[in-house]
Amino acid sequence: MATFAIDADPRLTATDMTRIVELVYRKSGITLHDGKRALVVARLQKRLRALGLPTFAAYVDHVERDATGSEIVALLDAIATNHTYFFREDAHFTFLRTRIAAAHGGAGRPLEIWSAACSTGEEPYSIAITLLGLPSPIEFSILASDLSTRALAAAGAGVYKQSALGDVPRDILRAWFERGLGPQEGLARIAAPVRRCVTFRQLNLLELGELRDSYDVIFCRNVMIYFDRAVQQRVVSALERRLRPGGHLLISHSESLNGVAHSLRWVAPAIYQRGNH
């Protein structure tokens, strides 16, 4: 077997960068701008070392030959930015509590929710805490998905630094978080009743053919900002097909469906509803 002397600092050529940009776009819809060049170098050098590959070109060849698909997931994990926090854009949780949950109370079945880009779990756990805290509890289920296996592992563990929870109201911290002691000092874990409400699953928003279910509510926030118009159209169409009649799609306040073809009705900032038919 051939062996290589691995350069301590392999150079990312313009051709390498172009191939990586095209590969990431094709597999995830994410557009990597040239300003991300330093990030690509820093993050992917670790993969080169782990695999014993001498150049970025050899790495891209390896990703494209990998029939298992595991290395493209590792690549996307490496470059993903998973920045989020609990109760982000809190007007959405107010709407969920006062409008959606209140209207669903007499439906006779659980409210089914999909957190379609859940990152490290703050969003689906915020949804669960909101619904568990209702004066008149309702049945619900939450599917939380993400492309990143690394983010999903963190989400499933449900452990967060206490320093990142400063904006979470104290009554919620007391009711729904477990404070770490001893070796876990400085950490907090989502309480078991909240964790049990959420099912985590790896899903690619560009490859939803296997997702046959439909949902009353879909949260898909702070992900379409990474897509160009063509990918936004593809994703919104896929999400709309998976909304039940009367169901709601929630996007980020920094995002817009302007220029994207859909049949949804605007009902509040960054909240859209499918018709009843």
Would residue 43 show up in a list of annotated catalytic residues for this protein? yes
Residue the block writes with tokens 């967060």 = 160
Would residue 146 show up in a list of annotated catalytic residues for this protein? yes
Task: List the catalytic residue out of 19, 47, 77, 146.
Answer: 146
DSSP string spanning the chain?
A: ----PPPSS----HHHHHHHHHHHHHHH-----GGGHHHHHHHHHHHHHHHT-SSHHHHHHHHHH-TT-HHHHHHHHHH------TTSSTHHHHHIIIIIHHHHTTSSS-EEEEETT-TTTHHHHHHHHHHHT-SS---EEEEEEES-HHHHHHHHHTEEEGGGGTTS-HHHHHHHEEE--GGGTTEEEE-HHHHTTEEEEE--TT--TT----EEEEE--SSGGGS-HHHHHHHHHHHHHTEEEEEEEE--TT---TTS----EEEETTEEE----
CB 241, CB 209: distance < 8 Å = no
**Residue numbers annotated as active site:** 43, 146
